[in-house]
Structure 1
Amino acid sequence: MRESAAERHDRLLGLVRDRGSARVSELAAQLGVSPVTVRRDVEDLAGRGLLDRVHGSVSWPQDTAHAAGAGTGGAGNGLVLGMLAPSATYYFAEVIRGAHEAAARAGARLILRISDYRPQEDHARTQGLLAAGAEGLLVAPGWQHPGDPSAFGDWISSLPVPTVLLERRPTAGSPLDGLDRVCSDHAHGVLLAVRHLVGLGHGAPLLMARADSPTALAVRSGYAEALTALGLRAPQDVIDSVPAELAPESFEEAVRALHEAVRSGVATAALIHNDVDAIQVVQRLAELGVRVPDDLALIAYDDEVAALADTPLTAVAPPKREVGRHATELLVERLGQGGGDAPRRHLTLLPQLRVRDSCGAPLP
């Protein structure tokens, strides 16, 4: 199977972490790819603060290395923290950045493993973090489907070091439910979006959403909760969305369903998860004669690239960076307590609605 970019990033980070620094040509030989590919990977990782670049070579971030040996005497001094994330790009890039910054401030070193949304590999990659010296763990399993927590999550509750779950809500009453966790309240984010559209004079908006991640599933359940809270009824069933690049025919079918809903007057507003899908939907709707915001008021969910659309998209912005920061601070605090009997915490952070052009003016 061809190695993904996320897996290659994981190997690259491991090589640099183990060596302290390395030249691009050396990394290319070790990874079995071209120097151009490595330079592109290094630029991406350095832009997220995960690596430092100096004259053709790359090194482990100096702020973390310096802080870890600064002798501050704080609870986090010299700690090694491990982080398992499903991806180092898109949504989780900001979560990782927040964790990295908080670790550096605490005088701790953060090491990273990427699962590329393969939950069956989470356990082995976490064992790799422990073998590398991690004294505490930040874990965002690569779950995608409703059954994944029970199928691929039991091992997390038996980890031998303090563990904080990131952006994951396990089944209530399960062993994982007793762990510390920090999450975005996606139901609140959806409520903000629906309330804003209704406040502009629209009826209940349509939801077009994926179903391939915990965030997508939370957006779907939050949509039903928001409609109930506001006394609204869905104009029609949720439109199932898929990545256009993976299933172009299914994506076209979803766009056609939204187009028909607008043209028939079923809906004048929509919420779309996620940003990338929303931008592609707007482009395709324009080709079909439906304009945003003139014919359809639209809000995207994630706010990763929504502001860069031709018509900047109003978007729900989960507090991704703050999730990483608060989770790391909680883990450092837990380690400072020596794993004592202090109550476990479930910290929920509220998304924000960033209003741009895609909603238009209030309806008369």
Structure 2
Amino acid sequence: MRESAAERHERLLELVRERGSARVSDLAALLGVSPVTARRDVELLAGEGRLDRVHGSVSWPGRRPPAATGAPSATGGGHGPVLGLLAPSSTYYFAEVIRGAHEAAARAGSRLILRISDYRPEEDPMRTEGLLAAGAEGLLIAPGWRAPGDPAAYGEWITGLPVPAVLLERRAAPGSALDGMDRVASDHGHGALLAVRHLMDLGHGAPLLVARADSPTALAVRSGYADALAALGVRAPRDVIDSVPAEQRPEEFDAAVRALHQAVVSGTASAALVHNDVDAIQMVQRLAELGVRVPDDLALIAYDDEVAALADIPLTAVAPPKREVGREATRLLVERLTDRQRADEPRRHLSLLPRLRVRDSCGARRASGGAAGAGPDRTDTDNSF
């Protein structure tokens, strides 16, 4: 059976852990992979804070190869506190959150340790125990919640942590114990309002929402969409169209595409907000096969802005400040750990505002006389209302 990348990464980490440090070329030989593959693996693991990388060698965080003595560590590794980060994923949305946290930790001279829950909230406590066992003095916690009831079912343990913690890109129910914690999160309600208002400013009626319901971000976009329509005094043209991952549930995804197609051809709606980028790109492709063109027949905005700019028709997208969320949460945690006066201050809830990056799929460039695909993205300001 072919070894997965995750299994290879674990083997690589074990080799470095046993040796303290190793040359990338030696790791390639020990793993039985090409030097290019080994280099890519090392870059990924170093970017996640799981290895230090200096001049062709790698070392276990906190150790450096002799030749690198005196050189700055790729992960900080100074005299700051050791920080633990629990994330549901290290790819797509959370890759940028992790990158921001890593950057802020490095600036503070701190080591960042990462554990991934793979969206299994029942495993979050065990993963966090691993962070504490590895020496984490403070924690950044992004639970692997998916369903609306998950915070209540899988959240109480967070309030009993023995070290300072910041809730990361997650919100708690008002009045709950979790709501009394420090947290830093994107304001997805603001992001949904930016999209709805932009489409209506272009002359469309209230846009449709096509969205998943399998993550806190998706649920927040749904809630924000309803609030945006209420704030603008309009009604949804029809119920939210439920989306699902096309590769996992192709028949249900196709049903969502056909529901959107029907809404367009029937005149029910001429604009839509779609969560997330991947679904939006695939929907644009399928709609074209069914005779609906973006933006001619349907103005479309995606939510997340991970890969939206890479679509055949670059997608206008709401961009949550993912990297900034990681940075600000880390700064807050370091303050709690290193400044006794701040440790006694009231808890803080920090909401960072998404931005709207205007490209081709909403038709704004065409309406303003700009050539499709020409020039850089235009970013709407965050405080325009």
2:157 to 148, 155, 158: 155
Which one of the candidate residues 84, 94, 97 is aligned to 1:95? Answer: 97
Return the offset for 1:247: 0.6
Cα distance, 1:10–1:309 mapped onto 2, change above 3 Å: farther
Q: 1:326 aligns with which of 322, 325, 328?
A: 328
The reply to whether residue 68 of structure 1 matches residue 68 of structure 2 is: no
The answer to whether residue 24 in structure 2 is matched with residue 21 in structure 1 is: no
Take 1:119 and 1:9, find their aligned partners in 2: how far apart are those partners? 23
Shift of 1:21: 3.4
Which sections of structure 1, spanning at least 5 residues, go unmatched? 70-76
1:54-96: CA deviation from partner (whole Å, max 9, x where unpaired): 7886445775467433xxxxxxx33100000000000000000
Q: Which residue of 2 aligns with 1:126?
A: 128
Q: Which has the higher contact order (CA 8 A, sep 6+)?
A: 1
What is the rounded CA distance, in whole Å, between the counterparts of 2:8 and 2:178 in structure 1? Answer: 30
Please name the residue that 2:33 is paired with. 35
8 Å CA contact 1:169, 1:183 repeated in 2: yes
1:72 match: none
Other-structure match for 1:345:
348
Change (3 A) 1:359 1:15: farther
1:1-364 alignment, distance < 5 Å: 16=16, 20-22=20-22, 35=33, 41-45=41-45, 51=51, 58-59=58-59, 63-64=72-73, 67-69=76-78, 77-338=79-340, 340-361=343-364
Q: Which amino acid aligns with 2:358?
A: V
Classify the secondary structure of the residue corresponding to 2:167.
Answer: strand
8 Å CA contact 1:145, 1:212 repeated in 2: yes
Instruction: Give the fraction of aligned pairs with identical amino acids, expressed as a percent.
Output: 78
Q: What are the Cα deviations for residues 181-237 of structure 1, in whole angstroms up to 9, with x where unaligned?
A: 000000000000000000000000000000010000000000000000000100001
Superposed CA offset, 1:22-70 (max 9, x none): 466987899xx8636766544544567765667886445775467433x
Contact residue 6 and residue 88 of structure 1 kept, 8 A: no
Q: For residues 277-306 of structure 1, give each alpha carbon's deviation from its aligned partner in whole angstroms, at most 9, with x where no partner exists.
A: 100111111111111101100000000000
Cα shift at 1:20: 4.6
Does the 8 Å CA contact 1:51/1:60 hold for their aligned counterparts?
A: yes
Cα 1:295–1:189, aligned 2, differ >3 Å: closer, same or farther?
same
CA contact 1:6–1:114 (8 Å) conserved in 2 = no
1:73 paired residue number = none
Determine the C-alpha separation between the residues in 2 that align with 1:151 and 1:12: 36
Task: Render the CA deviation track for 1:226-274: whole Å, top value 9, x for unaligned.
Answer: 0000001000010000011111111111001001110111010000000
Q: SS where residue 283 of structure 2 aligns?
A: helix
Question: What SS does structure 2 have at the residue aligned with 1:245?
Answer: coil
TM-score (norm 1): 0.88
1:8: how far off? 6.9
Question: What residue identity is the alignment partner of 2:350?
Answer: L
SS at match of 1:107: coil
Query: Cα RMSD between the aligned structures?
Result: 2.9
Shift of the 20–231 alpha-carbon distance from structure 1 to 2, 3 Å rule, reads farther
**How many pairs align?**
354
**Cα separation, partners in 2 of 1:7 and 1:229, compared to 1, 3 Å:** farther
Separation (CA, whole Å) in 2 of partners of 1:104 and 1:222: 34
- In the TM superposition, residue 363 of structure 1 has moved relative to its aligned partner by 6.9
Larger mean Cα displacement after TM superposition, 162-171 or 41-50 = 41-50
The residue type paired with residue 308 of structure 1 is L
Letter in 2 for 1:352: R
Contact kept? 2:75, 2:112, Cα under 8 Å? no
Tell me which residue corresponds to 1:74. none
Q: How far apart are 1:340 and its partner, in Å? A: 3.6
Alignment partners' CA distance in 2, 1:350 and 1:183: 9
Summarize the Cα distance change of 1:277–1:29 in structure 2 as closer, same or farther, 3 Å threshold.
Answer: farther
1:183, 1:261 → 2: CA distance?
33
Measured at CA, do residues 149 and 237 of structure 1 come closer, stay the same or move farther in structure 2, by a change above 3 Å?
Answer: same
Cα displacement (A) at 1:337: 2.8
- Call closer, same or farther: CA 1:334–1:176 in 2, change over 3 Å: same
- Give me the TM-score of the superposition, normalised by structure 2: 0.84
Q: Secondary structure at the match of 1:35?
A: coil
